[in-house]
Amino acid sequence: MTESVTAPPIRSQGASPPTERVIAVIELLGRNPNKQFSLAEICRTLGISRATGHALLTTLAAHEWVIRDPATAHYSWGPAISALARPANTPLHRGALQALAAATGTQVMLARREGTTLVVTDTVGECPRGPRVWRGMRTPFVPPIGRDYVAWWSTDAQNEWLEAIGTPSRQFKQRMTDVFRAIRQRGFVVERLTHQYVRVYSALRALSADGQVDEITAHLARAYADLAVIDVLDDELIAGATHSVATISAPIRDPDGTAMMTVMAAVFTTLDGDAIRSLGAQLRDSAREIEQRIGADHVVPQALTSD
């Protein structure tokens, strides 16, 4: 038996035929969330040209409304659509942030990914030592920033993300592989506080104010990636060692395992290994609380059955 794939006809008399075609692609993939489609299959099903289909899917994949599998070049339902369907209900999560700020004695934030930028959606508390973070502040989603989200991706997708700022060096790629593994195992990210971090982070934040990641942003991120030691691995949290920490964050994952938001604490001080683990655990617990609240409202779309 072959899987039956149906799609609503594209209404050529609509007010905006190009928009109708985008909607048709999204509806096709949304009705079949567990299936991967080839470009030819999508174009044939929807009755659009290969050139039009390729342009649509390339744009949608760039924003992760669809996912392109590097191994098969097939397309499937993307996590960005799920994130739009479950907005970051700020009042709903405010209690968790307030409790976390009271427990940690510092500013805590909730952020989400929007295309090529990471946006702060809520913030509670104050950090007397570090720069003020405000609601609506944006930073670019470029390596190594945003690894909270990427740690849960496939190896191919991780490599593709790393290559967004140029071919990674062997050392940087190995470090990021170790960092991704550590994030998955312990459930939190540590951002080191260095002079380079403060300067580069401020510049990247300014460059991403309009939501775009341009060539200058990519080059700056690459320079930082080549010069900085990313994260703090577990075997570096040895007794007696201290680390200058800017922030610690934990990913908030939806029921299908995709990281869709992060909860972050502004630290901007020196901590030993035990303090880093303790704060990381608090953030992880807060992230799990938010996940449970989101999961209670989650509805998984059903795939079409076989004929």
| Residue of 1, 68, 53, 62 whose CA lies nearest to 22 | 53
| Residue of 250, 232, 240, 233 whose CA lies nearest to 290 | 250
Instruction: Write down the mean pLDDT value for the chain.
Output: 83
Report whether the peptide linkage leading into residue 255 is cis, meaning its omega lies within 30 degrees of zero.
no
pLDDT digits (tens, 9 = 90+) for 164-201: 888 889 999 999 999 999 999 999 999 999 887 888 77
Phi, psi of 215 (to 5 degrees): -65, -35
Which domains are assigned to the chain? 17-77 (1.10.10.10), 86-296 (3.30.450.40)
Highest mean pLDDT among 76-80, 107-111, 165-169: 107-111
Kindly state the average pLDDT of the residues 41-64: 89
Whole-model pTM above 0.75? no
Highest mean pLDDT among 12-16, 40-44, 132-136: 40-44
What is the pLDDT at residue 5? 53
Helices (H), the chain: 17-31, 39-46, 50-62, 79-85, 90-104, 147-150, 155-162, 170-186, 195-207, 215-227, 273-296
| Residue of 64, 252, 227, 212 whose CA lies nearest to 144 | 227
Least confident piece of the model among 23-27, 29-33, 232-236? 29-33
More confidently predicted of 215 and 191: 191
Which run of H or of E encompasses 268?
strand 259-272
Compute the distance between CA of residue 121 and CA of residue 237 in angstroms, rounded to an integer. Answer: 31
Q: Which strands, in side-by-side order, build the sheet including 242-253? A: 138-140, 117-124, 108-114, 259-272, 242-253, 189-192
pLDDT digits (tens, 9 = 90+) for 274-302: 999 999 999 999 999 999 887 765 443 33
Instruction: For residue 197, count CB atoms less than 10 angstroms from its CB and return exposed for 0-12, middle for 13-18, buried for 19 or more.
Output: middle
What is the pLDDT at residue 79? 64
Per cent of the chain over pLDDT 90 is: 45
What is the pLDDT at residue 225? 85
Instruction: Give the orientation angle of helix 39-46 with respect to helix 17-31, to 10 degrees.
Output: 120
Tokens standing for residue 266 = 């502004």
pLDDT digits (tens, 9 = 90+) for 221-265: 888 888 889 999 999 988 889 999 999 999 999 887 889 899 999
What is the pLDDT at residue 78? 73
pLDDT digits (tens, 9 = 90+) for 132-166: 788 888 888 999 999 999 999 999 999 999 998 88
What is the pLDDT at residue 40? 92
What is the pLDDT at residue 300? 39
